[in-house]
Amino acid sequence: MKTMQSSQLLDKLETDTRQIILTLHYLLQEDPGVLLQQPAPGKWSVAQVTEHLNSYGRYYLPLIKQALDNSTYKANASFTPGWLGNYFTQSMLPREDGRITHKMQAPKNHRPSPDVDSFAVLNEFMEQEKLLLALLDKARNTDLNKLSIPISIAQFITLKLGDTFRFLIAHHQRHFVQINNTLAIVKKEHGYTFPKASFSFDAGF
C-alpha cells in the first residue's frame, strides 16, 4: 500500500472537514420543512441523511478521543494505509465528478427515523465536526499506524487510526453529495440553487 506523509494526510482531512462545516452553515439557514422533505417515497430527507452521519459520529468519535487520550506513541512522519481501511475509504469516496458508484445499504442501527428535529440534528453534527477537527489536530502528536479503532458493524475488526479518519470523512463526503442532490430535487420547483460542495475527491487519498 502506498505510504503517505502523515502531516499532509491530516491537512487534507482537516480541509475536507472544514468544507463540510461551511456547507452546514448554509443548511442551518434553510427552512426546516425543506430539510425534512423526502425527495421521493422511501428516500431520505436532508435531516435523515445528517442523522445517519450523527449515528456514526456517536460511535467513532468517543473511541477516537479515548485512543488519543491514552496514546503513548510518538508522532510518525509516515502513514501506510491498511488494505481493509483503504478498501472501505475508496468504496465510500465519490468520484471526482461527484458521482457515487458503490451503492450500499445502511446497517439497521444506522438507519434514521423520518421523524427527526432538523435543527437539533444539524447542530449535533456541527458539534461532531468541530470535535473531529480537534481530534485531527491532536492526532498530529501520535502514530496513525499504531492506534486502532474497532469498526461499528463488527467490533472484532479494527482499522488503523489514520484509516478510521479517512473512512469517516469519506463517508461524510459521500452523503453530502446525497444532500446536494436531495436539495436540488426538493427545491427544483422554487428555482433554488444550492452551493455545490467543492470537495477534492482524490482516488489516491
Cβ neighbors of 159 (< 8 A, separation 6 or more) are 82, 84, 85, 88, 148, 149, 151, 167
List pLDDT tens digits, range 23-63.
999 999 999 889 999 999 889 999 999 999 999 999 999 99
User: What is the mean predicted confidence (pLDDT) over 167-179?
Assistant: 95
List pLDDT tens digits, range 53-104.
999 999 999 999 999 999 999 999 999 999 999 999 988 887 665 566 666 6
**Nearest Cα to Cα of residue 24 among 61, 50, 48:** 50
Predicted confidence at residue 84, as pLDDT, reads 94
List pLDDT tens digits, range 126-169.
999 999 999 999 999 999 999 999 999 888 899 999 999 999 99
Predicted confidence at residue 58, as pLDDT, reads 97
Q: What is the mean pLDDT of the chain?
A: 88
Determine the residue type at 70.
N
Q: Answer yes or no: is pLDDT of 1 > 80.
A: no
Q: Look up the pTM and report it.
A: 0.89
User: How many angstroms separate the first and last alpha carbons of the chain?
Assistant: 12
Q: How far apart are CA 203 and CA 205, in angstroms?
A: 5
Q: 158 pairs with which residues across the strands?
A: 150
Predicted confidence at residue 204, as pLDDT, reads 42
Looking at domain 4-190, which CATH architecture does it have?
Up-down Bundle (1.20)
**Nearest Cα to Cα of residue 52 among 124, 131, 151, 132:** 124
